[in-house]
Amino acid sequence: MPHEPKGLNEECGVFGVWGNPNAASITHLGLHTLQHRGQEGAGIVGLTKDGMRRHYGLGLLSEVFTNTDQLTPLIGRAALGHVRYSTAGGRVLENIQPLLFRFSDEAIALAHNGNLTNAISLRRQLEDQGAIFQSTSDTEVLMHLIRRQVGQPWLTQLKTALNEVHGGFAFVLLTEHGLYAAVDPYGFRPMVVGVLSDGGYIVCSETAALDAVGAEFVRDVQPGELITIDDAGLHIDHFTTNTQLAVCSMEYIYFARPDSDIHGINVHQARVRMGERLAKEQPAEADIVVGVPNSSLSAAIGYAKASGIPYEMGLMKSQ
């Protein structure tokens, strides 16, 4: 189908910085910690004194950024980065995020972790109204919805667009005026806020990335929230109050790093408890418990603990 987005993102990593002169380098380091969330492509947009600049490509972060000199053109007080994983097709350069849009009145960078369930129908409607898409990713739909509201205040544009998209999503947008983060009404995909000791704020997909850059955890972005970070600080708003926290179970089972916390629950400890529960529900006569690297190792520890069967390393992953 020509209208069908080919890059439906299920598990991606997003990392944004506002208010620090080393924003691009910090973002680069943060994305390394989120590499497990996406290996198909990577990109960083830097807000420089000359406007927004982007470096992006297919492959791992280390393949896209082969030397530190590639970060030099991105140096500025803010940056937005993304590592991409898609569930169907679309492994092409045009779908690598952050997407960067240059309009006559402003430039906007957009990064997304999630899946818009009504992206196909929205894209058809937008194209019927004259919209021209530059990618096949569902992410771009949000930007076209925003630009339909030109003439309204920026936050009104953003809130209106966020209420038109359905699914599980965590969006981050970067403009010359601020960094904006929004999470779907169920908090299906995680997003956290952190603060740097030498100045500036961070929004990213996991707390492990905050730890990697030496940032202090501030809070989880709650369902339906719209966070603004600008030169005046951190502002918390909502695009909807019809919310209910329902984090995707796969974040705890597989997607997230074991050293991350999601809404106050440590991922490693959650997996250990899953293993303990499994041992009670499905006891087994065995000599040893072996976890399959890497996501099931914590659960295997829990199974061994609850069952009394010794835990051993029986499988090795070449890394």
Site of tokens 């600049």: 53
Which of 8, 12, 78, 304 is catalytic? The answer is 12
Write out the two tokens for 235: 């502002």
What count of other Cβ atoms lies within 10 Å of the Cβ of residue 295?
19
Angle at 290 between CA 286 and CA 291, to 5 degrees: 140
Q: Are the C-beta atoms of 178 and 237 separated by less than 8 Å? A: no
Q: Can you tell me the distance from the alpha carbon of 312 to that of 319, in angstroms, rounded to the nearest whole number?
A: 19
- Shortest CA distance to 130 belongs to which of 116, 118, 147? 147
Question: Number of C-alpha atoms within 13 angstroms, CB side, residue 297?
Answer: 13
- Residue 229 CB contacts under 8 Å (≥ 6 apart), including other chains: 18, 19, 178, 179, 180, 181, 193, 201, 203, 235
192: enclosing H helix or E strand: strand 192-195
Q: Are the C-beta atoms of 81 and 28 separated by less than 8 Å? A: yes
Helix (H, G, I), strand (E, B) or coil at 237: strand
Which sign does the torsion angle of CA 156, 118, 185, 255 carry? Answer: negative
Catalytic-residue membership of 248: no
- Residue 137 CB contacts under 8 Å (≥ 6 apart), including other chains: 5, 6, 7, 9, 90, 95, 97, 99, 112
Active site positions, annotated: 12
